[in-house]
């Protein structure tokens, strides 16, 4: 399965993840695999550290790819008359990412309610066990009038299948 990102952040690297047969019998996609991105020169400051504004950009890219892998592309969500807005974001810097670092980004649901969900992100430099940064973002599904609506049943089914504790 290809992640198909068109953003110039790097090339997501597909890998085999969850048992595809279990997913296909429910019409669901497989559990997402970690995404990889190489820190670009245009994303670093004079010290060759990833500039702080790009950390959230990497989270946004990973979130869109996570949705694509387990549910559907965000563009299809919008075409169906829904949108997903960010209601809260928090990021903790542990160590700096540097130019040309290969980063691995994992996204997992942290909490779900009727119309809101919180995702957690962990970003590691290739070969290092400690995260460079961790983040959470909280989102709300809305309709075309900007009113909160329930999370689609299909997305809830995928999350409950792949993340039963959530």
C-alpha 148/C-alpha 53 separation (Å) is 28
Give backbone dihedrals phi and psi of 111, rounded to 5 degrees, phi first: -155, 145
Query: Could you give the domains of the chain?
Result: 22-161 (3.10.129.10)
What SS3 state is found at 30?
A: coil
Q: What is the pLDDT of residues 52-105, one digit of tens each?
A: 999 999 999 999 999 998 899 999 999 999 999 999 999 999 999 999 999 999
In tens, the pLDDT along 44-57 reads 999 999 999 999 99
Burial of 116 (0-12, 13-18, 19+ CB in 10 A): middle
């Amino acid at each position: 399965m290809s992640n198909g990102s068109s953003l110039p952040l790097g090339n997501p690297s597909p890998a085999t993840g969850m048992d595809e047969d279990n997913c296909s019998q429910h019409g669901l996609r497989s559990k997402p695999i970690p995404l990889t991105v190489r820190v670009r020169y245009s994303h670093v400051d004079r010290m060759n550290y990833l500039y702080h504004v790009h950390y959230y950009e990497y989270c946004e890219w990973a979130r869109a790819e996570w949705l694509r892998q387990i549910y559907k592309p965000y563009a299809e969500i919008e075409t169906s008359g829904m949108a997903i807005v960010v209601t809260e974001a928090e990021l903790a810097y542990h160590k700096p990412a540097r130019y040309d670092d290969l980063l691995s980004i994992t996204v997992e649901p942290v909490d779900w309610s009727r119309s809101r969900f919180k995702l957690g992100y962990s970003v590691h430099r290739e070969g290092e066990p400690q995260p460079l940064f961790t983040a959470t973002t909280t989102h709300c599904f809305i309709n075309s009038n900007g009113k909160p609506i329930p999370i689609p049943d299909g997305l809830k089914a995928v999350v409950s299948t792949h993340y039963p504790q959530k």
